[in-house]
Structures are given as structure tokens and as C-alpha cells.
């Protein structure tokens, strides 16, 4: 991702402005106002209490766990926690909303303004403002594909707790919006407040997009509803911003609209316009008291927060000297950060070197070799066939000169495929690197004696021939000579 934040149109540059409303399902065994279960994939309508089905006379009772999770999330997003918040009814009709309203928070949300640091691919860090986070119920689901002529309703999701995380319109490109979603997801996973699983719908986003001339006031926005993958989000923004620029450049006007992204075609389409917009007639839910928290309660939750990705990234820099971009990759998931630290500790122990002296190398092996393989196969680090201790074993053999970097790559492939230890593979394949000075001196003498013409040319000033001699030594040792030692001896002998 580059720092470039402008799109070139036919009539000059445009700035894209994006604000996201992320709906994150709260990790909780029970729903926001009932004791019904929330597990994914259950039989339709098997997790529905009388409250969720909106039976007359049922009373909602707020689930403390969901409140705690929202506060935790607010703290993780560096946001203000509102000690007093209010649940409102948002009224609308939909077949999968039996209450006829959704309980949400409108004018007094539980979490106020915050800020998220977003790591861009080029190592830049951008601050994105959080407007608010509120708690609300999810609706049920209409199933249109079960019967040719009928629609069924599954109320399993009805009443499940969602956190709506509303950003300020601070994002300026599809790439930034993608990085923002990944960062928020990473923070939620660290906190354990949402599993972030976009395929299962635990995290989805409404995407607000507008364009303007650089420096101008905010333009009219369109909102793309319910986008459920980072890739779709980016395609939707790219398409939508181009669509708006084209309209404006040909003298048209943007009409505020709700749109849907069609992943098959890669386009957004009108769903409803502002004129048909709902009037939700929000009012405080008379069945629920205002939610009042104490500062001590909030402080108690703050005390249980884990080290979050930004702090970890900073520490990886301070403690191990890992550069920011690489550190950002390692800390994106708690499990990979833990993998890295375990590998560093074991490598340091095996080699007797300081952790900071081996950490950079470990970070590179994880980010390039290990992640390279895992990503290709769509696996997370928890599924790695190589443990951090085993990878440290390989790293130690490389660092103490037993094997070369090239050999280490070969051993890595075998470890990844077969689960054998680095030492066993090195033994089996006879991969030891020749670092013995006496042995190499003898080989180098033979090489020099066998190539008198090149030797004379080199001494006559043709220094490019150095590589030729290194190549000959490597050939004579079947590629097993330690390149560092070869260079050193060759330099000395050629200078004689
Ligand atoms: P609503 O509740 O009608 O969707 P909000 O004012 O709460 O409206 O804004 C929702 C989202 O839209 C926020 O994430 C905000 O950052 C974003 N937003 C507001 N104005 C613009 C704009 N002109 N361009 C892009 N995004 C915007
Ligand atoms: Mg909105």
C-alpha cells in the first residue's frame, strides 16, 4: 500500500473519503437480553428463547457478560467509556424481526470517541478516529433458498449481541480501509471480545464512501451494506469511488443511497435511496433501565487487558530490535507473536547468544519462510507443522555455522513436510557445512594451482574473477563450504 491518497480523474485529482460501521458479534455464550445460546451452525430455531421470539409479556434482562465485553472493546480501542448509557428501541418492520424493533443504543452509547493506529504496508502508521461503539441486538435471518415458493425464518441470531464500531470518516483509500478492518479485527481477537470470523458473519461492515476535490468539504456519501470480507470491501470501495467520480465529472450529482455490493460482478447496486429511508422513531426502551457503570468496574476490566498489538509491536522494537513493518506482521495475531517469542528464547538458549542478537533472523524466517508456506495453504500459525522450538533448532545450526543459509532453506522444506528435527535431517543428508580452516585451505590451494591463467589475470587487476574462485571451491566441496570462511581465506591467499 502506498502513501498516495488521491485518485486521478479525467478532470483532475479526487480524494476518496471512507467511514466504516463494523458490526462485531460479541463473544458470549448467551444473547444480549436472554439466556439462549449463540453457537454458530446450530439447527434453525433451536436457540430461541421466548424473549428472542418476542412473545408478549417477556422482559429483556441485560447480559452482564456482553456489557463487560463492550467495555473491554472500548478500552482496547483507546476510547472513552460512558458510565451511563441508554438502550433505545429502533422501530422497523421486517419478517425476521418479531419484536418490530431492535434494541440498540442511539444518543447515549456505552463507548464514545477513541482511536486506532493502522499499519500500512509501506510501514507508515495512520490514526483513525472512532466515533462510538454501541451495543445492539442482531436480527433473525430470512431463508429464501429452502423452498421454491416460500421463505423461512431462522431466529437463532435474533437477540445475539453485536457491537457496532463506528469510525470517523478518516480513511482515504480501499487499502487503508482494508488495513483498518484487519487492525480492528486483530484488537478484538486479542481482547477475546469477538472471534472476527467474517465467513461466519461474526464481523461485517457497512461502508460509507464519498469523493471530493482535495481540501473541499465532505461530499455526499453512499453506504454499502453488509460487506463480509476484506477483499469485497476493497473492491466495493474501488468500484464505488470510480462510479461517483464519473457521475461528478459528467456534471451529475451524487444521491445519498444505500447500496449492495455484488461480488460476482464486482459492482455496487442501489438498494434504497435516502427518500425511502426509514424513520426509526427511536425512544428509550421502557423495559430497560439506563445502564450505569462505576469507574471501579471499568478500572477492574482495564486491569485484565492483555498486551495489545501496538504495545507488543513497540516492545518487539525496543527489546529485540525488530523493525516496525516486520513487527506489525508478527503481532497481527497473538499466536504468531507468541510463536516468535518462544522461538527467540529457544534460539538464544541453544546458541548462548543474546535474544536481541538472534531475534531479527528469527523474525525473518517466520515472516518469509513459515508464513509463506502457511499463507499459501490458507493455514494459521496454530496449525504450523513446525514448533517454535524445532524451528529454533534449525536456526541454531545456521547461526553456529554448521549449515549454510542455503542448506537451512532445504532443511526447512523437509521439516515442514515431514516433522523430523533439523539435526536429524542434517545428519541424514550429510548437510554439514565445511568450516574447518585447514581443510578449506588445502582445497583452495588446489583450486588456485589448477587455474594458473585466472590467477594471473586476477593478480593483474581483474578482480571480478574472485567470484570464479569461490565458485570453484564450492564445486570442489559439493556446495558445502562455509562461504564466510572461503571468502576470508581466498582474500588472504589471493593477496599473497
Ligand atoms: P448513519 O447513522 O446515517 O449511517 P452517521 O453519521 O452515523 O450516519 O455516519 C455513519 C458512518 O458514515 C460513519 O462511519 C462516518 O464516518 C461515515 N461518514 C459520514 N459522512 C461521510 C462522508 N461524507 N463520506 C464518507 N463517510 C462518511
Ligand atoms: Mg449507517
The number of domains in the chain is 3
Tell whether ligand 1 has an atom less than 6 A from the beta carbon of residue 17: yes
Which pLDDT tens digits describe the chain residue by residue (496 residues)? 444 589 999 999 999 999 999 999 999 999 999 999 999 999 999 999 999 999 999 999 999 999 999 999 999 999 999 999 999 999 999 999 999 999 999 999 999 999 999 988 887 899 999 999 999 999 999 999 999 999 999 999 999 999 999 999 999 999 999 999 999 999 999 999 999 999 999 999 999 999 999 999 999 999 999 999 999 999 999 999 999 999 999 999 999 999 999 999 999 999 877 666 678 999 999 999 999 999 999 999 999 999 999 999 999 999 999 999 999 999 999 999 999 999 999 999 999 999 999 999 999 999 999 999 998 888 889 999 999 999 999 999 999 888 888 889 999 999 999 889 998 998 888 777 777 788 888 888 889 889 999 888 998 888 888 989 889 888 888 777 888 888 888 888 888 7
CA 322 to chain CA centroid, nearest Å: 19
- Which pLDDT score is estimated for 360? 95
Domain boundary among 302, 321, 350: 302
93 belongs to a structural domain = yes
Report the residue among 17, 169, 171, 213 best suited for mutation to probe ligand 1: largest number of ligand atoms under 8 A from its CB.
169
Q: Which ligand is nearest to the CA of 106?
A: 1
293 belongs to a structural domain = yes
Residue 407 neighbours by CB distance under 10 Å: 21
195 belongs to a structural domain = yes
Whole-model pTM above 0.85? yes
Tell whether ligand 1 has an atom less than 6 A from the beta carbon of residue 132: no
Residues 373 and 418 in one domain: yes
Residues 451 and 390 in one domain: no
**Distance between Cα 272 and ligand 2 center (Å):** 13
1 belongs to a structural domain = no
Domain extent for 85: 6-302
- Which pLDDT score is estimated for 92? 92
Residues 267 and 208 in one domain: yes
Cα separation, 496 vs 491, in Å, equals 9
- Which pLDDT score is estimated for 437? 81
Per the prediction, the chain carries an average pLDDT of 93
pLDDT for 133-166, tens place per residue? 999 999 999 999 999 999 999 999 999 999 999 9
Q: Which ligand is nearest to the CA of 206?
A: 2
Tell whether ligand 1 has an atom less than 6 A from the beta carbon of residue 19: yes
- Which pLDDT score is estimated for 1? 41
Specify the ligand 1 atom closest to the Cα of 170.
16
Beta-strand pair 222-227/257-262: parallel
Q: Cβ distance 411 to 426 under 8 Å?
A: yes
Residues 145 and 20 in one domain: yes
Domain boundary among 401, 429, 457: 429
The CATH number of whichever domain residue 460 belongs to comes to 1.10.10.410
- Which pLDDT score is estimated for 476? 84
Residues 269 and 211 in one domain: yes
Residues 288 and 362 in one domain: no
Report the residue among 221, 257, 282 best suited for mutation to probe ligand 1: largest number of ligand atoms under 8 A from its CB.
221
Residues 285 and 319 in one domain: no
The residue whose C-alpha atom lies closest to atom 15 belonging to ligand 1 is: 19
Residues 369 and 237 in one domain: no
- Which pLDDT score is estimated for 274? 63
Residues 295 and 276 in one domain: yes
**Distance between Cα 186 and ligand 1 center (Å):** 23
- Which pLDDT score is estimated for 440? 84
- Which pLDDT score is estimated for 277? 64
Domain boundary among 242, 274, 302: 302
Residues 483 and 400 in one domain: no
Residues 226 and 284 in one domain: yes
pLDDT for 393-422, tens place per residue? 999 999 988 888 888 999 999 999 988 999
Cα separation, 447 vs 433, in Å, equals 18
Tell whether ligand 1 has an atom less than 6 A from the beta carbon of residue 244: no
Residues 139 and 234 in one domain: yes
pLDDT for 203-251, tens place per residue? 999 999 999 999 999 999 999 999 999 999 999 999 999 999 999 999 9
- Which pLDDT score is estimated for 2? 43
Amino acid at each position: 500500500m502506498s502513501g498516495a491518497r488521491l485518485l486521478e480523474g479525467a478532470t483532475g485529482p479526487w480524494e476518496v473519503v471512507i467511514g466504516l460501521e463494523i458490526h462485531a458479534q460479541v463473544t458470549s455464550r448467551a444473547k444480549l437480553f436472554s439466556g439462549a445460546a449463540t453457537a454458530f451452525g446450530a439447527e434453525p430455531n433451536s436457540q430461541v428463547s421466548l424473549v428472542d421470539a418476542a412473545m408478549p409479556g417477556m422482559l429483556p434482562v441485560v447480559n452482564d457478560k456482553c456489557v463487560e465485553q463492550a467495555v473491554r472493546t472500548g478500552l482496547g480501542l483507546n476510547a472513552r467509556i460512558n458510565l451511563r448509557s441508554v438502550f433505545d428501541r429502533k422501530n422497523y418492520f421486517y419478517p425476521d424481526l418479531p419484536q418490530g424493533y431492535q434494541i440498540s443504543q442511539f444518543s447515549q452509547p456505552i463507548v464514545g470517541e477513541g482511536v486506532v493506529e493502522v499499519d500500512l504496508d509501506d510501514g507508515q502508521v495512520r490514526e483513525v478516529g472512532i466515533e462510538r461503539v454501541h451495543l445492539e441486538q442482531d436480527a433473525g435471518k430470512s431463508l429464501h433458498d429452502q423452498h421454491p415458493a416460500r421463505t423461512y425464518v431462522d431466529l437463532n441470531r435474533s437477540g445475539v449481541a453485536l457491537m457496532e464500531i463506528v469510525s470517523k470518516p478518516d480513511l482515504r483509500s480501499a487499502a487503508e480501509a482494508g488495513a483498518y478492518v484487519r487492525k480492528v479485527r486483530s484488537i478484538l481477537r486479542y481482547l477475546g471480545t469477538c472471534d472476527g470470523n467474517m465467513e461466519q458473519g461474526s464481523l461485517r461492515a457497512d461502508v460509507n464512501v464519498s469523493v471530493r476535490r482535495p481540501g473541499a468539504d465532505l461530499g455526499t456519501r453512499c453506504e454499502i451494506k453488509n460487506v463480509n470480507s476484506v477483499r469485497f470491501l476493497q473492491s466495493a470501495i474501488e468500484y464505488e469511488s470510480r462510479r461517483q467520480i464519473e457521475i461528478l465529472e459528467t456534471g451529475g450529482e451524487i444521491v445519498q443511497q444505500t447500496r449492495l455490493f455484488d461480488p460476482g460482478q464486482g459492482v455496487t447496486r442501489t438498494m434504497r435511496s435516502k427518500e425511502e429511508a426509514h424513520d426509526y422513531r427511536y425512544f428509550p426502551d421502557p423495559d430497560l433501565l439506563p445502564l450505569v457503570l462505576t469507574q471501579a468496574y471499568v478500572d477492574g476490566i482495564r486491569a485484565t487487558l492483555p498486551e495489545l498489538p501496538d504495545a507488543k509491536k513497540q516492545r518487539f522494537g525496543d527489546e529485540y530490535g525488530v523493525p516496525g513493518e516486520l513487527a506489525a506482521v508478527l503481532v497481527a495475531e497473538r499466536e504468531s507473536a507468541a510463536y516468535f517469542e518462544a522461538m527467540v528464547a529457544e534460539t538464544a538458549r541453544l546458541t548462548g547468544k543474546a535474544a536481541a542478537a538472534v531475534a531479527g533472523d528469527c523474525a525473518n524466517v517466520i515472516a518469509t519462510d513459515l508464513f509463506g508456506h502457511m499463507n499459501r495453504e490458507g493455514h494459521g500459525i496454530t496449525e504450523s507443522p513446525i514448533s517454535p522450538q524445532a524451528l529454533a533448532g534449525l536456526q541454531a545450526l545456521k547461526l553456529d555455522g554448521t549449515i549454510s543459509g542455503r542448506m537451512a532453506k532445504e532443511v526447512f522444506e523437509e521439516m515442514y513436510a515431514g516433522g523430523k528435527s533439523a539435526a536429524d535431517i542434517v545428519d541424514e543428508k550429510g548437510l554439514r557445512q565445511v568450516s574447518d580452516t585447514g581443510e578449506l585451505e588445502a582445497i583452495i590451494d588446489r583450486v588456485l594451482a589448477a587455474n594458473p591463467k585466472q590467477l594471473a589475470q586476477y593478480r593483474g587487476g581483474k578482480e571480478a574473477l574472485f567470484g570464479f574462485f569461490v565458485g570453484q571451491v564450492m564445486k570442489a566441496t559439493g556446495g558445502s563450504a562455509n562461504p564466510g570462511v572461503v571468502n576470508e581465506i581466498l582474500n588472504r591467499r589471493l593477496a599473497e
